Structure 1
């Protein structure tokens, strides 16, 4: 009878060591419970998707005055979902087992919580961890295997990243192993210790298989690198035409190749600063602002296209916000690219202004690194079209800044960070595409060694940037980037001033 007290005491000690996470993970049979979801906007749609993805037969009643089309679509696909279009009232919870509040009215969410607690019901309040009795964690599922991940409400983004890592590394075949283990367990005889010993022996093969897959992955990559080295070496010594072609390549290409790789790695680690670092480096190497901006935007087309597509698949796009940003952003970007390209002959005079802009962005990055928070009560930005035009124009002229300007403004104004990020990433693809086309049309292939170096360098870094980012201190990198950008920009401004004087 001493087993339970000893375990409780051990749990208490472990809680103190790990920081006091008091959450107790459970798996609910939502198909046997009645869930009431109040709110049917984008957040409500996200919550409903999470429920139905994990429990297709969950019985859910959605209550809202206005309903997102996506919620209607789910109610058609899942007969257990019922929609009631009306304002919330206390009686709506009389038949509930679980409650989820997902309205955009914080006072209403608080009222719903009080009403739920009066009925002794558990409630989840969207984006308000302190008001939640339970969280909807990230889920990894492989057949009958299901793993729940929670960060105690601190960072849903980290939970999502962990889910992606586990989902990628846990093979789908594990569900077959699970079924076999279930059958094997029914055939085992003997005492508990003997059964555990036999099961441990059988499951040890899973770890061995994982190590074999990891070793195979490294073997494949090493084989590819070795094959490339052998191919290039053979061509160098046996094909004079190839050797002559390589020797004719402008050495600046290799500098920008390495710089593009490094800047893309930094961007993968902190999620920003590729534009400002690439533009600052290009200008310090004597590349005119227009060509520098062209290189940045060409190299960003693919990365932002992939990122935008992933956010679209995850439902992280606010389409109303997207439409408000897209056309003004494109007009601003094309206008900025056209103006900067037209002034290419006067790059000596435009360069200090661009350097001043990158200096300001360096300060912005530094402020982000020290985690300055927005002032309480700050209102949402309503002139989205103006923000999109200004962000697109400045991004094209300065070689970067769409994310730093538009995304920062949206989040600082109180908009949902996840939907803002997804919307900005998707719109960024079209901004980069249109500004790149404008630059190519206007510049007639000038400074292609720098442009090509950035494009290939960033492309090489893309597959490994995300993995490297998990092992690097984000704050340290942001501070270092900010200092380097500010120093280089100030140097360009000072050199220009000395030439004038």
Structure 2
């Protein structure tokens, strides 16, 4: 009885036109996915090659029923059998009766004559066999597999180069996010809610998923065109009011000149933050202190401006599906608690701003050095061990961010990515949590501080809000290294300026 008739093979959809090319060159293999938990697989050989084959099987199906037969068994195979109860190791020499009642055969010995004998015995029973490192003797190959939850992608080079297949698997595994499994589960849930016949269900699912394959260039160009017209329209309106309405010109001239400085700074810093995912708080705080604002007021200005900018950016990342909700839940409450405590501490020291200002400048100077060093670090392979103490990271990040006026992105985002988290989902999650942390920190600052530099705050709020929708879409599209170098140098220079000014007053 064939595997398909036993209901043990899940085959991919094939194009009927490919039948015409059955005699053409190229890879003639037909990919199938076997339900190994319902089959009996025999692996002959328990050395290093047998271990490799057995590990591949159990990695893809941890309930696969496998019998291992070998006269010599290495320790690693025995350990694997202990870890997986469905593995049965029999230490003896192979005889052809060992293939009775078997569905699949894998020959993994270093004895060519024995492998040939195993193959002959398998074919006499009409069994499919894989012979390790002998493509010409194989009925099927064990291809490289990319596994992301319920998503599984098989890669075959027709036996020509397992190394190429392995490299392709690494590339796909790196670039396909783990969160793709969440999308699969959601689509499965949606499919179960649909009513009607098969054709109606397919039509509805095609409509929902069409956004994944439809051309996006025109829609992207349309969005940029809309933003261009909005900015151009605002420019025309303001210019017209300035030259034609004396009252408007008089009102604009009464506005504190610092508003315009902070407006431009807020827009620039938010754009930079969108490109590298960090440094808005650090750059804004360093700039504010250099303009004569106290550390507590500078941190309040930063947090107030980040309510709107991070709210917009967080919403954009949410709409683009860039939020890891499990990570969000681990960060949000500790981050809020840390921000509240930090804001309360720095606000209570407002009367000692002369002394706290150089301390905060030293902090921003340090972060500037961190950003600069990250720009020149050689890229390393992503760690397989993701950072574990996420709640503690959120608590510390929220506290330091409130005290120093920035650092949430520099500390939390950098740690998540360095710990193996996906950069895009980490960025989206950090942006959304930043909205709530900025809101709580701002409430504490407003409650404890008597006055505030409202011109500077208004400039940062409006500037960062204008940049937020654009910044969310330019991440990773421009030279991150160049921006990080520029930001690091600027933050270091501005911080040094504040420190030197303090030292000059003391002397």
Q: Say yes or no: TM over 0.5.
A: yes
For 2:477 and 2:425, how far apart are their aligned partners in 1? 26
State the aligned residue count.
363
For 1:63 and 1:487, how far apart are their aligned partners in 2? 57
1:17-96 equivalences in 2 (<5 Å): none
Match of residue 221, structure 2, among 166, 169, 178 = 169
1:230-379 equivalences in 2 (<5 Å): 230-235=240-245, 237=246, 239=247, 242=248, 245-373=251-379, 379=385
SS of residue paired to 1:101:
strand
Within the alignment, does 1:129 sit opposite 2:175 as a pair?
Answer: no
1:393-408 equivalences in 2 (<5 Å): 393-408=399-414
Shifted more, 269-278 versus 225-234: the winner is 225-234
Within the alignment, does 1:228 sit opposite 2:238 as a pair?
Answer: yes
For 1:294 and 1:101, how far apart are their aligned partners in 2? 46
Q: How far is 1:114 from its partner? A: 9.9
SS of residue paired to 2:461:
helix
The runs of 5 or more residues in structure 1 that have no matched partner are: 1-27, 39-61, 66-85, 150-162, 172-212
For 1:169 and 1:434, how far apart are their aligned partners in 2? 37
Pick the structure with greater CA Rg. 2
Q: How far is 1:352 from its partner? A: 0.9
For 2:381 and 2:371, how far apart are their aligned partners in 1? 18
Match of residue 147, structure 2, among 96, 101, 109 = 101
SS of residue paired to 1:295:
helix
For 1:218 and 1:371, how far apart are their aligned partners in 2? 36
Measured on the aligned residues, the alpha-carbon RMSD in Å equals 4.9
Q: In structure 2, do the counterparts of structure 1 residues 126 and 428 end up closer, same or farther at CA, with 3 Å as the change threshold?
A: farther
Q: How far is 1:382 from its partner? A: 2.4
Q: In structure 2, do the counterparts of structure 1 residues 88 and 413 end up closer, same or farther at CA, with 3 Å as the change threshold?
A: farther
Match of residue 449, structure 2, among 419, 443, 446 = 443
Q: How far is 1:482 from its partner? A: 0.7
Q: In structure 2, do the counterparts of structure 1 residues 128 and 335 end up closer, same or farther at CA, with 3 Å as the change threshold?
A: farther
Q: How far is 1:359 from its partner? A: 0.8
Q: Which residue number corresponds to residue 480 of structure 2?
A: 474
Q: Deviations over 1:369-425 (max 9, x none)?
A: 113445886854322222111100000111111111011112212233333323222
1:127-206 equivalences in 2 (<5 Å): 129-130=170-171, 167-169=219-221
Q: Deviations over 1:305-332 (max 9, x none)?
A: 2333344445443333322221111111
Q: Deviations over 1:6-34 (max 9, x none)?
A: xxxxxxxxxxxxxxxxxxxxxx9579986
Q: Is the 8 A contact 2:317 2:472 kept in 1?
A: no
Q: In structure 2, do the counterparts of structure 1 residues 378 and 489 end up closer, same or farther at CA, with 3 Å as the change threshold?
A: farther
Q: In structure 2, do the counterparts of structure 1 residues 491 and 222 end up closer, same or farther at CA, with 3 Å as the change threshold?
A: closer
1:399-478 equivalences in 2 (<5 Å): 399-465=405-471, 473-478=479-484
Shifted more, 272-281 versus 415-424: the winner is 415-424
Q: Is the 8 A contact 2:146 2:169 kept in 1?
A: no
Q: How far is 1:447 from its partner? A: 1.0
Q: Is the 8 A contact 1:36 1:63 kept in 2?
A: no
Q: Is the 8 A contact 2:383 2:419 kept in 1?
A: no
For 2:428 and 2:174, how far apart are their aligned partners in 1? 28
The runs of 5 or more residues in structure 2 that have no matched partner are: 1-11, 17-30, 37-59, 64-83, 88-102, 105-127, 129-139, 181-205
Q: Is the 8 A contact 1:407 1:424 kept in 2?
A: yes
For 1:115 and 1:403, how far apart are their aligned partners in 2? 41
TM-score under structure 1 length normalisation: 0.59
Q: Deviations over 1:316-353 (max 9, x none)?
A: 43333322221111111011111111111111111111
Within the alignment, does 1:383 sit opposite 2:389 as a pair?
Answer: yes
For 1:473 and 1:481, how far apart are their aligned partners in 2? 13
TM-score under structure 2 length normalisation: 0.59
Q: Which residue number corresponds to residue 70 of structure 1?
A: none
Q: How far is 1:452 from its partner? A: 0.8
Q: In structure 2, do the counterparts of structure 1 residues 64 and 296 end up closer, same or farther at CA, with 3 Å as the change threshold?
A: farther
For 1:415 and 1:268, how far apart are their aligned partners in 2? 18
Q: How far is 1:491 from its partner? A: 2.3
SS of residue paired to 2:293:
coil
Q: In structure 2, do the counterparts of structure 1 residues 314 and 471 end up closer, same or farther at CA, with 3 Å as the change threshold?
A: closer
Match of residue 499, structure 1, among 494, 501, 505 = 505
Within the alignment, does 1:486 sit opposite 2:492 as a pair?
Answer: yes
For 2:35 and 2:231, how far apart are their aligned partners in 1? 48
Q: Is the 8 A contact 2:282 2:491 kept in 1?
A: yes
For 1:481 and 1:338, how far apart are their aligned partners in 2? 29
Q: Deviations over 1:282-316 (max 9, x none)?
A: 00000011111111112222232233334444544
